[in-house]
Copies of this chain bind each other. A is one copy, B any other.
């Protein structure tokens, strides 16, 4: 594959299949001296882990992470940090169905085409199980960003099928199993999801991630712009089909006078740019939004072909998330944190001595 690493200076490498003995990874490039313990990673792993409510997959994994290296006497040493999570609930079942038939909308067919062989148990490498390692690695980045730089990375579910929040409060996000920022509409989500589950169908969603307390100067034009690397990071999450920064697709119908974020000595007056100008952070909040497709693992039958190329039908039994967007919030936070961490290191490599002519000005408030 050789596509299993992310980042240039803060580099995460992952491995592991859904139903293998373990998943794991390596975080290389973490600055030395950071206080770090497994508990720091576990918090976010627990937010991501399956079976937290009836609205996500009922697979039971404790997702207990072990730090195998790179930490000494409670602090990072600058050496690579080895991470390991044993798989526990690889339910023994009969996989002959999906071993032989390509679930439409799934990676089954493309893996067979690419590799000629496929670990079909639970989706193998294409399962979102690997995202646990992203979350663990992202938690290290989040901690460094917060403790050393005051940068806070947070996210929330910003749309579930047709339902949008009616209000917004960060405090609400961790009070419901959806990462939903609006208490008034949580019941709507519950009702919608219960009906969906009964129907045997799935639904798309959107997740928004925000980094506040941003410094100026992160991003390396012309190709490794901050927004380009964020797009790469977020689009690499399973099921993501779109990424937008700030006004995003809304800017198609904006005029220049409307889109440009005016500046005053007291701060920016708006944030259509989503905190990035010319590929470089402006000091405004970085705001990105992703679209997640509905999972294709459905118990409603679909037309497909089998491994001999013949027409057939397939249904997917087993335990699946009817809305993969729900558990995607901590994953998207992790990926944003990884990008920011990498760019923080890159920025100080090259521009350690720079003194900007102008003091940075505050971000417009998140609306």
Contacts and interface: CB of A to CB of B under 8 A. Distances in A.
B28 A1 contact: yes
Contact of A242 (B228, B249, B348): B249
A354 interface: yes
Nearest to A224: B3
A345 B68 CA distance: 28
B346 A112 contact: no
B68 A357 contact: no
6 contacts: A4-B28, A107-B279, A223-B236, A225-B236, A244-B291, A263-B303
B3 A277 contact: no
A5 B13 contact: yes
Interface in A80-122: 80-82, 84, 102-107, 109-119
A349 interface: yes
A256 B105 CA distance: 9
B303 A350 contact: no
A144 to B, nearest CB: 11
B244 A116 contact: no
Given A15-B81, A114-B280, A116-B355, A223 B4 contact: yes
Cβ-closest 9 pairs across A and B: A107-B278, A3-B220, A3-B224, A105-B260, A2-B29, A242-B244, A202-B256, A232-B232, A349-B349
Given A110-B277, A269-B303, A78 B351 contact: yes
Interface residues of A, number: 165
A172 interface: no
Given A113-B216, A357-B116, A257 B201 contact: yes
Interface string A1-42: 111111011110111110011111110110111000000000
Interface in A326-367: 345-361
Contact of A79 (B1, B206, B347): B1
A302 interface: yes
Contact of A349 (B162, B346, B353): B346
Contact of A117 (B3, B26, B75, B115): B75
A4 B291 CA distance: 29
A119 B79 contact: yes
Contacts of A53: none
